A and B are shown apart, each in its own frame.
Chain A
Amino acid sequence: MAEVVSLGIFPSSFPRTPVLRNVARLFRSFPASNRLWRFWLAAKLDLAFTAFTTSTMGKMLRRAVQKSLEDYIRCTAPSEYHDILIPDFDFGAKRPVLDHGYLSALHDPRVKLLRSPSLAVVGPRELQVEDGETFQADVVILANGFKTQELLTPMTIMGQNEAELPKLWRQEGNFASAYMGYVHTTARGPSLSNALTAS
């Protein structure tokens, strides 16, 4: 059986190096060189597929990526949150998140981050986390994601012989899934390029 590894999306964390003036001049005089450069950049991203494999090279790459992301989280977020913000699982096991200024915003004195496996309402405007800490809530914003395993629902898609699409998928055991998907090592090209540009 071919090797299957769990899918994550490689973040766009490649350093964006400024283009030197003479390189810019080269691009201008020989438009083809610009295209070639662009092709190389794309190829470089595809080569990152190795980071999703279980090979020694893959592990090394993952460790390097994790080190740089951990450093980033450490130097951007307040120190009291480092423990709960830094994952204990390998990079690539879950879709990484691109930072939109979130980590530095945690320095705001009005905000408090709590990690808890559960949440409960204990008063009309009061909530409580697992360890018993309570806090006031005038508004709750759910940012708990989407039903990513229910593609095309709640639509009913009926094909020949009244076959229903999501039902059919489940029946065959090949249920179409996205977030908890996987990359097939023999089909690396297309899957990876999609994955890379999706985030």
Chain B
Amino acid sequence: MYASQPEVLAYIESVVSRFDHSSHIHLNQECTAAEWLDDEFLWRVHFVERESGRTYVKTAQFLITAVGFCDTPNGAEGIRDIQNFGGRMFHSASWDHSFDFRDKNVVVVGNGCSANQFVPHLLKHAEIRSMVQVMKSPHWIAPKDNGPVPAWQKW
């Protein structure tokens, strides 16, 4: 069973509001460094507030990193002469929601999990003119069994 993004987001938001957690969560903050202070027995953690660029420091007895490994997107350096490209370009992980796809020629670079998810979505919901997808190597692609969970299965 697979939940869609809006469903997952709605769930997270409901948990946050149910336990009144919003004051403990700070979004758009980038952690740039963390250092262990031997004398004080503390971690000193450096942050940048993304919107204002303001930097600040927090100290903590415990530091838990839960950053995952799909956090830094690959760049476009693999595309020759990319500096000459005059169109719009973004990585699927930092999607440009302001971009109007109507009547546009779209090029997709890659065919992994990300492309697999947004290619059908774009074709269905955006009125693009054309799409060319360029892949380097294939993946084994498996069917996703998905469907509603009947009431008796929820326990």
- B70, B78, B119, B128: most-surrounded residue (chain A CB, <10 A): B119
Chain A hits for B71, CB < 8 A: 146
Chain A hits for B40, CB < 8 A: none
The answer to whether A110 touches B128 (Cβ under 8 A) is yes
Q: How many whole Å from B122's CB to the nearest CB in chain A?
A: 8
Chain A hits for B89, CB < 8 A: 139-142
The answer to whether B119 touches A102 (Cβ under 8 A) is yes
- A13, A69, A100, A113: most-surrounded residue (chain B CB, <10 A): A100
The answer to whether B72 touches A110 (Cβ under 8 A) is no
The answer to whether B144 touches A129 (Cβ under 8 A) is no
The answer to whether B120 touches A97 (Cβ under 8 A) is no
Interface status of B73 (Cβ within 8 A of chain A): yes
Q: Please report the C-alpha to C-alpha distance between residue A105 and residue B119 in the assembled complex, in whole angstroms.
A: 8
The answer to whether A145 touches B132 (Cβ under 8 A) is no
The answer to whether A121 touches B81 (Cβ under 8 A) is yes
- A147 touches which one: B2, B74, B144 (CB < 8 A)? B74
Q: How many whole Å from A14's CB to the nearest CB in chain B?
A: 8
Chain A hits for B35, CB < 8 A: 156-159
The answer to whether A137 touches B132 (Cβ under 8 A) is yes
Chain B hits for A98, CB < 8 A: 2, 113, 116, 141-144
**Further pairs besides A87-B139, A141-B92: 10, Cβ < 8 Å:** A12-B142, A98-B116, A98-B141, A99-B143, A108-B131, A115-B136, A120-B81, A129-B134, A154-B72, A158-B36
A interface residues (Cβ-Cβ under 8 A, vs B): 11-13, 15-16, 19, 24, 27-28, 31, 34, 66, 69, 72-73, 76, 84-87, 91, 94-105, 108, 110-125, 127, 129, 135-148, 150-160, 178-179, 199
- 10 A-B pairs within 8 Å (CB atoms) are namely A12-B144, A24-B152, A100-B144, A105-B123, A108-B131, A124-B84, A140-B85, A140-B88, A142-B73, A143-B112
